[in-house]
Amino acid sequence: MIDVVVVGAGPAGLACAIGAATAGARVTVIERDRLPHRRPCAGLINVTGAAELSTLGVSTADAHRLGGIRLVDGEHRIRRAFPDGGQVIDRSILDARLADAAVDAGVTIVDGIEVLRPIVERGLVRGVLTDRDTDAEIAADVVVAADGATSTFGRSLGTVRDPSWPSLLTIIGRWESAQSHRSTLDIRLDLRRMSGDLLPGHAWVVPAGDGTVSVGVSVLSTARDADSVNTTKVLEAVVDSARADWELGGKPLSPLRGVRLPVGLSVTPAGGPSWLVVGDAAAAASPFAGLGIDRALISGRLAAEAIAGVIDTGSFAVLQNHAPSLQAASEPYFRVGRLFTGFAGTRAGHALVRAAARNGFLAEALCQFGTGSFRPGSISALRNVAERMSWFAPRA
């Protein structure tokens, strides 16, 4: 039996832990915060994410169902079906269910403890050092970094984000809403700077069905002077413009959460001789819209499969399959996304994206590419063209 330590108890880390424990590993998950998480999150799950959760034994039968996406640009609005349907579940509930499934699989979860750094012996990571007063060192044969977008632990292992690749400057909060029962989410394409100038990116209003909605903003890092954008002010403007339609409460229900979200596998390497990286720590989120739960679950499953390979073969060299497996599960879709994100940050690109709120074909294309769910027809033909064009995009 091999010992595995997973740093981070989000969807990616817990998916990895469940898969590794099921394969026969002895797994410990260490989480800095107390569980369940109480952080703002849209909790949006597409059909791929729902399938991954079902495989892990996690039910979403009581999730709020979404059947539509409404694109909004000023007074222009157009509605399209949510490809294959979407679900919304509170992140604290989702994380709790994943944690329960992990415990049922034999995983040990320790929360409220911070990992300070990896333990390195003869050039190999052999565990982690925590801030516990006693038993601070935890030995492991394999260590998994699953500590989110900022991933201080991942950086201590040697991961680096390529700053030339796109990222999303994201901020999100939750508000009370008398319209949270709606089955359609809003994607707003008319973000503006405080000066009134248009701002490449998008905002969303996602109904949770429980009397609340999540409202968030994602600004493209490819936008001019993106780092100088006050995303809090942009979010406040979005909330004000959506307040009457969604009957929003006055103040957010919890502190806003802002982060620079790396996307499109822009963080490398995804592993080493005795360690792996998953979820946002590996920039596994979609470069199109920042959707992350499905990709987090997939990356966790792939890491667990690599660990299972070590158990089956007795060779830690199998861990080197993780990075190419991540790429194979994401390309060429992510490659198209990296190309799209770069173009959307230009004035011409942003104008084309905004036109989706006026044109049915563009609206359908944006919805299918944004959710990663494609249907047969003209959009599939466009996808084929985009995939050929994507050879000019940066590669993971």
Comparing CA positions, the residue from 164, 232, 170, 230 lying closest to residue 201 is 170
pLDDT recorded at residue 290 = 81
DSSP conformational letter for 276: E
Residue 44 pairs in a beta bridge with 88
Whole-number pLDDT of residue 396: 54
Q: Which of 206, 199, 215 is nearest to 258 (CA)?
A: 215
Reported as a pLDDT band with limits 50, 70 and 90, residue 369 is confident
- pLDDT at res. 297: 98
Rounded CA gap, 172 and 198, in Å?
20
Half-sphere exposure of residue 15: CA atoms within 13 angstroms, side-chain side = 29
User: pLDDT, tens digit, for every residue of 298-336?
Assistant: 999 999 999 999 999 999 999 999 999 999 998 878 888
Query: Residue 144: what are its φ and ψ, rounded to 5°?
Result: -120, 125
C-alpha 222/C-alpha 307 separation (Å) is 36
pLDDT digits (tens, 9 = 90+) for 208-243: 999 999 999 999 998 888 889 999 999 999 999 999
pLDDT in tens, 106-148: 999 999 999 999 999 998 999 999 999 888 999 999 999 999 9
**Mean pLDDT rounded to a whole number for the chain:** 91
Peptide bond before residue 394 is cis, with ω within 30 degrees of 0: no
Alpha-carbon distance values, 87 to 36, 50, 58, 101 (Å): 20, 8, 14, 20
Is the pLDDT at 394 greater than 60? The verdict is no
Q: How many CA atoms lie within 13 A of 81 on its CB side?
A: 6
Residue 393: pLDDT band by 50, 70, 90 thresholds? low
Compute the average pLDDT of residues 172-200.
94
Reported as a single tens digit per residue, the pLDDT across 24-55 is: 999 999 999 988 877 788 999 999 999 999 99
CA dihedral 333, 337, 338, 341 (to 10 degrees): 180
Phi, psi of 171 (to 5 degrees): -140, 145
Beta bridge partners of 21: none
What is the token pair recorded at 26?
Answer: 């002895």
Asked whether the CA dihedral 380, 384, 387, 389 is positive or negative, the reply is negative
Lowest mean pLDDT among 11-15, 99-103, 371-375: 371-375
> What pLDDT is stored for residue 62 in this prediction?
95
pLDDT score at 311: 96
> Could you tell me what percent of the chain has a pLDDT over 70?
94
Asked if residue 302 lies in contact with residue 277, where contact means CB atoms within 8 angstroms, the answer is no
pTM of the model: 0.94
- Res. 381 pLDDT band, cuts 50 70 90: low
pLDDT of residue 382: 60
Q: Say if strands 26-31 and 108-111 run parallel, antiparallel, or are unpaired.
A: parallel
Q: 203, exposed or middle or buried, with CB in 10 Å at 0-12, 13-18, 19+?
A: buried
Q: Does 161 score more than 90 pLDDT?
A: yes
pLDDT > 90 in the chain, percent: 74
The predicted structure's pLDDT at residue 332 = 79
Those residues with Cβ within 8 angstroms of residue 134's Cβ, 6 or more apart along the chain or in another chain: none
